[in-house]
Amino acid sequence: MKHLILIILIQFSFICFGQESIENNGEMCRLLNEMINNDQLYRSGEILGGSFGTENNSSKKEIDSVWSLQIEIDNRNTEKLIELTKKYGWISDERIDCPKLNIWLIFRHSQKKYFPEILELITKEHEAKRLNDFHYRLIKNHLEGRPKM
């Protein structure tokens, strides 16, 4: 019986303390803000801005080329956020005192190849109460093909 209690306590400690603490909130805030700025780099630009490239004078080739650049950024951002979430758990605005972070946008703009890993991560983080309901639903909606909410 003592061994069973000890095993349960050890497993509980891994669940509670499995995430590393963030040592430099300011640096983490800077990194995540840079990722968000990059996420919007071409989306808010002249060619893709406004109506996602459908109502401007750019050619299809130009639009496709800019989307290709944005997707490269999205992939790097997605991979980095997956890495950070695995290491630290969901990094919310409140957790690192970084207002208007909107880091959920990174997963909302991810490519299909990342969907299974993202779903596993956000489910775990939502169940652990580190990812709020609203952001969980926004990300999950993207993973499900963006049906009307």
Q: Give the position of tokens 């080739």.
A: 61
pTM for the full predicted model:
0.82
Please report the pLDDT score of residue 54 as a whole number: 53
Give the integer Cα–Cα distance in Å for 70 and 72.
5
Q: What is the pLDDT of residues 35-45, one digit of tens each?
A: 999 999 999 88
**Least confident among 11-20, 45-54, 113-122:** 11-20
**Least confident among 19-23, 112-116, 124-128:** 19-23
**What is the mean pLDDT of the segment spanning 59-86?**
96
Mean pLDDT of the residues in the chain:
87
Asked if residues 125 and 131 have their Cβ atoms less than 8 Å apart, the reply is yes
Asked if residues 101 and 37 have their Cβ atoms less than 8 Å apart, the reply is no
* Closest C-alpha among 87, 81, 101, 90 to residue 124: 90
